[in-house]
Amino acid sequence: YDPNYVNNYAEAVETAKQIKTKMKIVPVKTLQDVIRYMETYAKSAS
């Protein structure tokens, strides 16, 4: 256990705030989560 550990999602959110981006940060755990999100996103974007 490392009390200073910051997961990738939290780090990405903080970085997005720092660089003032409008990109959406999406938490995922697996490649399947990524694929599922992208499929859903592609359908809603069209």
pLDDT tier at 31, thresholds 50, 70, 90:
very high
| Percent of the chain topping pLDDT 70 | 100
In angstroms, what CA-CA distances link 7 with 11, 15, 23, 35?
Answer: 6, 12, 18, 20
pLDDT tier at 3, thresholds 50, 70, 90:
confident
For the chain, the distance separating the N- and C-terminal CA atoms, rounded to the nearest angstrom, is 44
Has residue 25 got a pLDDT over 80? yes
Domain ranges within the chain, ordered by starting residue: 8-45
Has residue 41 got a pLDDT over 90? no
Has residue 6 got a pLDDT over 90? no
Under DSSP, the state recorded for 7 is -
